[in-house]
Amino acid sequence: MTSQTVSIEERIAELKKERNAIILAHNYQESEIQEVADFLGDSLELARKSAEIDCDTIVFCGVHFMAETAKLLNPNKTVLLPDLDAGCSLAEGCTAEMLKAYQDHLRAKLNQEIYTIAYVNCSAGVKALTDVCCTSGNAVKVVEQAPKDKHILFVPDFHLGSWLKKQTGREMTLWNGSCSVHESISRRDLMFLKQEHPDAITIAHPECVDGILDLADEVLSTAGMVAIAKKHSNQKFIVGTEANMIHRLRREGPTNIYLPAPGIPAPGEASCASCVHCPHMGLNTMDKLEACLRDGSPEVVVDPAIVPAARRAIENMLAIGR
Ligand code: SF4
């Protein structure tokens, strides 16, 4: 086969073999990356998978905190991220220094022990300061199992935390962070879309604001969205999350119709039918994936001083399950 006839997908497959590597991809990655991945999933599924797989190298197609989680669970494996700048607005809005200062303040103010629950969308440094992590897939269970004699501090997603308060009835202090992507869904245009498609089931991710969750028939993690898509056939869905999720849903429930929830239009534009894309996830491309497999970099490293505490918070979550 000449080099001109070898596709990028074939080159990635070859490089993967040479490195004894596995590609894990989040449901929000572009469709081409989803197609070459060995495993697709949400944060929890990929964290579990990374702890189980037998390989030398994990290529994590997602954002930095997810690759850090894989590294924490696999200290002896090389973990690569196609673009090290793939961050997250939630993780960036809550640093370890900010959290430590706020925990001290809250403990003194309430004169009570704090139980910190961190949504996995945070850095390893933040995880190291928490009692347990959660994902949107198991957050209700994690909150329900929190000790009753401690005050819960939930970080870093305010909207997920508000939804959890309603679901569990537990009083919590919420960190004031948010996902800029889920916040960009337009309530007005979602209402119009629902009116146009009264037969559609509206599903929304709990990172969305209250006004969007109020319009949803089901509030679901991305794993929950996959499950509902598999359960139905010839059903129309309006999907309130990052738009690449629709590629995954089409794979799992191919007879259904999926309509992306509309984003807030830019000033001067009338509508924005499909613009809910995560710019951080979008930094990973097929070219960068090939390059990182070829070069064995960029590699994700975690400060050894925080590894035991951060790992314990993730393992506490994995022990609770979905
Ligand atoms: S979709 Fe939101 S929460 Fe997910 S990586 Fe992007 S910014 Fe972070």
In contact, 88 and 68? CB cutoff 8 Å: no
Q: Which of 281, 283, 284 to mutate to test the pocket of ligand 1 (most atoms within 8 A of CB)?
A: 281
Where b means 16+ CB within 10 Å and e means fewer, 252-262 reads ebeebebbbbb
CATH 3.40.50.10800 domain position(s) in the chain: 3-86+283-301, 91-178+306-320, 182-277
Task: From residue 53, give the alpha-carbon distance in Å to each of 58, 70, 191, 291.
Answer: 9, 11, 43, 23
Task: Please state the CATH superfamily assignment of the domain spanning residues 3-86+283-301 in this structure.
Answer: NadA-like (3.40.50.10800)
Probe target for ligand 1 pocket from 120, 175, 179, with the most ligand atoms within 8 Å of CB: 179
CA angle 118–120–122, rounded 5-degree value: 80
Residue whose CA is at the smallest distance from ligand 1 atom 5: 88
CA dihedral 219→225→228→234, nearest 10 degrees, is 110
Q: Give yes or no for residue 159 CB within 6 A of ligand 1.
A: no
Q: Is the CB of 63 under 6 A from ligand 1?
A: yes
* Rounded CA separation 56/15 (Å): 13
Fold of 182-277: Rossmann fold (3.40.50)
pLDDT score of 51: 83
Residue nearest to atom 3 of ligand 1 (CA): 179
Backbone angles phi, psi at 248, to 5 degrees: -65, -40
CB of 280 closer than 6 angstroms to any ligand 1 atom: yes
Q: Is 80 helix (H, G, I), strand (E, B) or coil?
A: strand
Q: Which pLDDT score, from 0 to 100, does residue 137 have?
A: 85
Six token digits for residue 77: 């494996």
CATH number (3.20.10.10, 3.90.1150.220, 3.40.50.10800, 3.40.50.150) of 91-178+306-320 reads 3.40.50.10800
From first to last of the 322 residues of the chain, give the pLDDT tens digit: 555 689 999 999 999 999 999 999 999 999 999 999 999 998 878 878 888 889 999 999 999 999 999 999 999 999 999 999 999 999 999 999 999 999 999 999 999 999 999 999 999 999 999 999 999 889 999 999 999 999 999 999 999 999 999 999 999 999 999 999 999 999 999 999 999 999 999 999 999 999 999 999 999 999 999 999 999 999 999 999 999 999 999 999 999 999 999 998 887 787 776 679 999 999 999 999 999 999 999 999 999 999 999 999 999 998 887 6
pLDDT for res 58: 96
pLDDT at 265: 81
SS3 29: coil
| Ligand 1 site, residue 122, Cβ cutoff 6 A | no
* pLDDT at residue 109, rounded to an integer: 97
Residue 201: per-residue pLDDT: 98
- Rounded Cα distance between 116 and 172, Å, is 10
